[in-house]
Structure 1
Amino acid sequence: MSLISAPQVTDEVIQELVRAIEQLRYGSVEITVHEGRVTQIERREKVRFNQTPEQAPQKIKPTANTAAKH
């Protein structure tokens, strides 16, 4: 029978996870693990608006400078 040890998580990773969670109002935190090691932490924040079509702001026409940038 082989024993597989749990991956070691550094204090730096734990601090980053806590920071990502604390800064998040609505959304998710995704942790990517490769070969038992945390390689990436991704924070996705959702922003939703409850507006009816009547409350939505009017479309703004771009100025010549703004249109030239796109």
Structure 2
Amino acid sequence: MARVDEQKINYIIAALEKLQYGSLNITIHNGEITQVDCNEKHRFTLPDKQLSRRKDGASLITSHG
């Protein structure tokens, strides 16, 4: 197992601390960290009046306009 550079560890820790919802993907090549991808998710809630229910229970967004 290769020794991991402290700078890379600190970068990964900082990315994890900032992430509320999403994923952190660490790419390894020949035993070395070569890339870190951070995908953050932002979800927006719709007011109840914009949602309607189908018979199967799935939500549909209805258009008002």
Give the structure-1-normalised TM-score.
Answer: 0.65
- Which one-letter code corresponds to 2:32 in the other structure? R
Q: Quote the residue 1:54 is aligned against.
A: 50
Q: Which runs of 5+ in 1 are unaligned?
A: 1-5, 60-70
Q: Quote the residue 1:23 is aligned against.
A: 18
Shift of 1:54: 2.6
CA RMSD of aligned residues (A): 2.3
> What is the percentage of aligned positions where both structures have the same residue?
34
Supply the distance in 2 between the matched residues of 1:7 and 1:48 (Cα, whole angstroms). 38
- Which one-letter code corresponds to 1:46 in the other structure? K
- Which one-letter code corresponds to 1:42 in the other structure? D
Shift of 1:8: 1.2
Supply the distance in 2 between the matched residues of 1:18 and 1:9 (Cα, whole angstroms). 13
Give the number of the structure whose alpha-carbon radius of gyration is greater: 1
Q: Which runs of 5+ in 2 are unaligned?
A: 52-60
1:32 is matched with which residue: 27, 30, 43?
27
Residue 8, structure 1, aligned to residue 15, structure 2: no
